[in-house]
Amino acid sequence: MARPRPLCSAFLALVLTLACVHASFQDDFDIVWGISHGVWGSGRSRIGRRLLTRDLSMDEIFRYWQKMYGKWPTDVYETHLTDYRNHVARSGREFGIPRNDQEFLDLYYYLRNRTEVPRAVGWTPERERCAPGCYLHGTCNQELGRCDCPRGRQGPDCSEPLATSCREFCQHDGQCHRVIREWCINECNDRGSCVGGFCHCWPGYFGTDCSLSVDYEGKEPNSNGPNTTVLLAGQGYRPNPRGPKIYVYEFPPQYHVWSLLWLDRPLNIILWERLMSLGLRTVNPEEADYFFLPGCGRGCNKWDQKFKYIMEHYAKYWNRRNGRDHLMTHAGDWGRCEKAWGPDSAPFIANLTMLNHWGITVDRSQETEHDLFNACHIPDQDIQVPVLCGDLYPQFEHNVWHPKRRAHPVNKTVLASVAGSICGWNSAEEPPCKNKYYSFGVRAALWTTLRDKPGFHIAKRVPVLGQSMAESEFCFAPTGAGHGKRQVVSVTLGCMPVIISDHVAQPFEPFLDWNDFGVWIAEADLPDVEAILRGFTPQQKAAKMKKLYCAARHVAYTTVFGGLFDGDTGEYDAIATIFNILRVRLRHPGVPDHELMKMDQDFADFMACKPGSPRASGLVAGAAAPPAPPLPNAASNARYKDSIDAKAFPHRTVTTAAWIKAVAGTGAATTQQVQPSTDTAAMIPGPLCAFNGHWVAYASFDTPGNPSAELGNAHRAQGQCMPKNANRPGNFPPGGSITCPPIGPITECAVLV
């Protein structure tokens, strides 16, 4: 098998591929994440989003700057525009789209240096810790005395041109010269201008999102005294008393924001922004419980340089726990095995805590003939987090617990289903498959053995994925080229997941028992799948469905994208679960993950969604199920015996045909539908607003008026969240949460953790 291509070119190819297949395969993925080419519709609804996927022309940049920052009288604006047109003509260029970083910055600095901008309280040029004039071209990190520059500049005051290109940093030519606020972390907290993803902060403010400043007088709330750094001064930042306290490294911008941050899976940006809006960020590394590494594990983030930087400036904090308290995200298909770093970084990567999606714990590379199917997940160290699935939230409105189900309950007519590629990503190939790694051959086996069986729906594509899965009792959740997402999708839609993936940890395992609310079947028992699924009694299925509602609340990012479940508060969602896992590990250092719920009742109650709403089951349970014999241990049925799984997941079980027979007395109990409850008295709405599929351009270069959240009210039904920002790549507001105001400030976000 050929080795994978370098990550930068691979990602560029991925973006181009998605753009090409848009017409034939559209599940809102490319629209929502903003990685396809072109301009779509009016940008006012989910079926016609207008995401800015091109560079602005010079004229458009002028208009945007005038609206957002310049606010000059008309005659002054026209004078500046004419003057710059003449400047461009004299240099032999056209007044069109900037062709490179230098042309882009030439226009940007022309506008910025003719604009009166605010200053941080107490700041004066004499108090600047960087070279004189740094604030004119870059942002001075007042703690380190480091002048941070936008891509295309360098030097002690960022005045020296630097030959750079978009492609050098994994970005497309024609898609990386943007001056709009939405493309920066937390939209610069309205304390700076966004220059191609870099926040050029107003004088005195600093940090990647301009959230930091010096409290010269020591009078800010939560200040550590005069001349110390504070967060969001004047905006009412409140530390979360529950913690944990997390320090965020302020890397030089060339190590992350010069690159393509808005990848197809923006987990890192969500957490990066959310740390601030949840009050978990601290500016004092001495009191930090954890250290967050900004930047995605994929693409052009300069990990070798980042670790060198940490050891040069913060070695004492790395060394105190040998990096275990450092948090890195990797949303790639193969997690740790998808390496965007060199050999020098390997010892650092091996020790830190990785938040990833690929849970394989043993080396299966020989059997799959794929060198990325190695032991990529480290139990009791890494956290297996759910895939975001932000592209599928419109589909998730089909879930069995959605408020719409009051009037239109789901009719479950299919025993088990799966829809998707069989032999490879976005491939029409049918078995026998050419490769051995895709889903470990599980998809092909299901296609071959169950496609024509009554009660089963095995397909490559379905018209409406959410409806198809919600109408199924069981949903197969195989892996893909690496991690899969169908386990998260099926749980969110209210379909019991069927896991057939030996030695692959599932999201939030061992804290969630996937064989408790779903069905885990060993790969060796693939021939018994039909007998197992037909053998469950209505009572057993009802018992699983009661537990499935809580699991759905844990794996969905509802506080990021919007509420999905009737009566849900958002307090147990995936973000809350991540931080509660960090908390419980902090309270019980050195305790294996599988023991934490036994030792910590508060955490056990959290994972059980207690105290739950009266909607907790969402189903009519019927008569109590008879006592069942213990389920078989997964380790004794797995492909590889004596693996790390036996120690890390000692309570993991699987369902076998023999167990089904022992419980039911026969091999094929009659399948009966388990319907969602329609008892409206049990449906008490929670405070979390409902997902809203509309978009609004709150601050656009081509619309009149100042940025205003009020623009969203016309596209918001009662109980719905505010529409998302049409020009923001991720499907969430600044602050990383749908509970945040669509244009800030992030100190007004709800704190549910």
Long-range CB pairs of 649-654 (<8 Å, 24+ gap) are 649/379, 649/505, 649/509, 649/510, 649/594, 650/594, 651/510, 651/513, 651/594, 652/509, 652/510, 652/513, 652/515, 652/520, 653/513, 653/515, 653/520, 654/515, 654/520, 654/521, 654/522, 654/525
CA 223 distance to own-chain centroid:
31
Give the DSSP H/E element, type plus range, for residue 457.
Answer: strand 456-459
How far apart (Å, rounded) are the C-alpha atoms in residues 415 and 471?
A: 9
For residue 387, CA distances in Å to 34, 358, 484, 496, 556 come to 18, 10, 8, 17, 9
Predicted confidence (pLDDT) per residue in 400-434, tens digit? 999 999 899 999 999 999 999 999 988 899 999 99
169 or 41, greater pLDDT = 169
Share of the chain above pLDDT 70, in %: 87
Q: Which of 210, 191, 214, 200 has its CA nearest to residue 143?
A: 214
- Residue 229 and residue 273 in contact, taking contact as beta carbons nearer than 8 Å: no
Rounded to a whole number of angstroms, the CA Rg of the chain reads: 26
Q: Which of 394, 555, 411 has its CA nearest to residue 471?
A: 411
Residue 459's SS3 state is strand
- Residue 273 — very low, low, confident or very high, per pLDDT cuts 50/70/90? very high
What lies within 8 Å, CB to CB, of 387 at 6+ separation is 265, 331, 357, 483, 484, 485, 488, 507
In a domain, 409, yes or no: yes
Q: Which of 119, 135, 141, 268 has its CA nearest to residue 212?
A: 141
Q: Is the pLDDT of residue 722 over 80?
A: yes
In a domain, 189, yes or no: no
Q: Is the pLDDT of residue 258 over 60?
A: yes
Q: Is the pLDDT of residue 224 over 70?
A: yes
Would you state the pLDDT for residue 51? Answer: 52
Q: Is the pLDDT of residue 69 over 50?
A: yes
- Residue 495 and residue 541 in contact, taking contact as beta carbons nearer than 8 Å: no
- Residue 706 — very low, low, confident or very high, per pLDDT cuts 50/70/90? confident
Residue 235's SS3 state is coil
How far apart (Å, rounded) are the C-alpha atoms in residues 185 and 157?
A: 23
Return the structure tokens found at 735.
């602050």
What lies within 8 Å, CB to CB, of 73 at 6+ separation is none
In a domain, 670, yes or no: yes
- Residue 591 and residue 301 in contact, taking contact as beta carbons nearer than 8 Å: no
In a domain, 572, yes or no: yes
* Backbone torsions φ then ψ of 670, nearest 5 degrees: -65, 130
* 292-296 mean pLDDT: 92
The domain tally of the chain equals 1
Residue 644's SS3 state is coil
- How high is the mean pLDDT of the chain? 87
How far apart (Å, rounded) are the C-alpha atoms in residues 11 and 5?
A: 9
Domain that holds residue 654: 390-682
Q: Which of 55, 60, 38 has its CA nearest to residue 702?
A: 60
29 or 522, greater pLDDT = 522
Task: Print the SS3 string covering 97-158.
Answer: CCCCHHHHHHHHHHHHCCCCCCCCCCCCHHHCCCCCCHHHHCEEECCCCEEECCCCEECCCC
Q: Which amino acid is at 111?
A: L
Q: Is the pLDDT of residue 301 over 70?
A: yes
516 or 728, greater pLDDT = 516
* 34-56 mean pLDDT: 43
Return the structure tokens found at 187.
């939209």
Q: Is the pLDDT of residue 538 over 60?
A: yes
In a domain, 617, yes or no: yes
Bridge partners (DSSP) listed for residue 472: 414
* Beta strand residue intervals within 380-454, DSSP E: 383-384, 414-419
CB atoms near residue 547 (< 10 Å):
19
Predicted confidence (pLDDT) per residue in 646-705, tens digit? 999 999 999 999 999 898 764 434 334 444 443 332 333 357 999 999 988 888 767 667
How far apart (Å, rounded) are the C-alpha atoms in residues 683 and 689?
A: 15
How far apart (Å, rounded) are the C-alpha atoms in residues 723 and 714?
A: 9
Strands 353-356 and 228-231: unpaired
601 or 711, greater pLDDT = 601
How far apart (Å, rounded) are the C-alpha atoms in residues 282 and 211?
A: 12
Bridge partners (DSSP) listed for residue 141: 146
How far apart (Å, rounded) are the C-alpha atoms in residues 425 and 445?
A: 16
For residue 743, CA distances in Å to 393, 731, 740 come to 22, 13, 8
* 191-204 mean pLDDT: 96
Sheet containing 414-419, strands listed edge to edge, beginning at the edge strand earlier in sequence? 456-459, 414-419, 472-476, 496-499, 519-520
Cis amide bond preceding 510, omega within 30: yes
Q: Which of 417, 276, 322, 38 has its CA nearest to residue 753?
A: 276
Bridge partners (DSSP) listed for residue 292: 248, 327
- Residue 548 and residue 554 in contact, taking contact as beta carbons nearer than 8 Å: no
* Runs of H (alpha helix) within 556-671: 558-561, 574-587, 593-599, 601-607, 634-637, 645-648, 657-664
Q: Which amino acid is at 5?
A: R
Would you state the pLDDT for residue 730? Answer: 81
92 or 265, greater pLDDT = 92
Bridge partners (DSSP) listed for residue 201: 192
In a domain, 277, yes or no: no
CB atoms near residue 37 (< 10 Å):
16
Ranges 162-176, 364-378, 492-506, 726-740: which has the least confidence: 162-176
How far apart (Å, rounded) are the C-alpha atoms in residues 211 and 231?
A: 6
How far apart (Å, rounded) are the C-alpha atoms in residues 357 and 338?
A: 12
Predicted confidence (pLDDT) per residue in 467-489, tens digit? 999 999 999 999 999 998 999 99
**How much is the pTM?**
0.90
727 or 240, greater pLDDT = 240
* 516-533 mean pLDDT: 97
- Residue 616 — very low, low, confident or very high, per pLDDT cuts 50/70/90? very low
CB atoms near residue 550 (< 10 Å):
18
Predicted confidence (pLDDT) per residue in 89-148, tens digit? 999 999 999 999 999 999 999 999 999 999 999 999 999 999 999 999 999 999 999 999
Which 8-state DSSP code applies to residue 501? -
Question: b/e map of 526-537 (b: 16 or more CB within 10 Å)?
Answer: bebbbbbbbbbb
Ranges 103-117, 238-252, 734-748: which has the least confidence: 734-748
* Backbone torsions φ then ψ of 388, nearest 5 degrees: -60, -50
Residue 675's SS3 state is coil
- Residue 506 and residue 477 in contact, taking contact as beta carbons nearer than 8 Å: no
Ranges 240-254, 349-363, 710-724: which has the least confidence: 710-724
Return the structure tokens found at 194.
């966004």
Would you state the pLDDT for residue 211? Answer: 98
Would you state the pLDDT for residue 686? Answer: 54
In a domain, 676, yes or no: yes
Which 8-state DSSP code applies to residue 78? H
Return the structure tokens found at 530.
């039909």
* Beta strand residue intervals within 252-334, DSSP E: 281-282, 290-292, 326-330
In a domain, 503, yes or no: yes
Predicted confidence (pLDDT) per residue in 549-604, tens digit? 999 999 999 999 999 999 899 999 999 999 999 999 999 999 999 999 999 999 99
Predicted confidence (pLDDT) per residue in 321-355, tens digit? 999 999 999 999 999 999 889 999 999 999 999 99
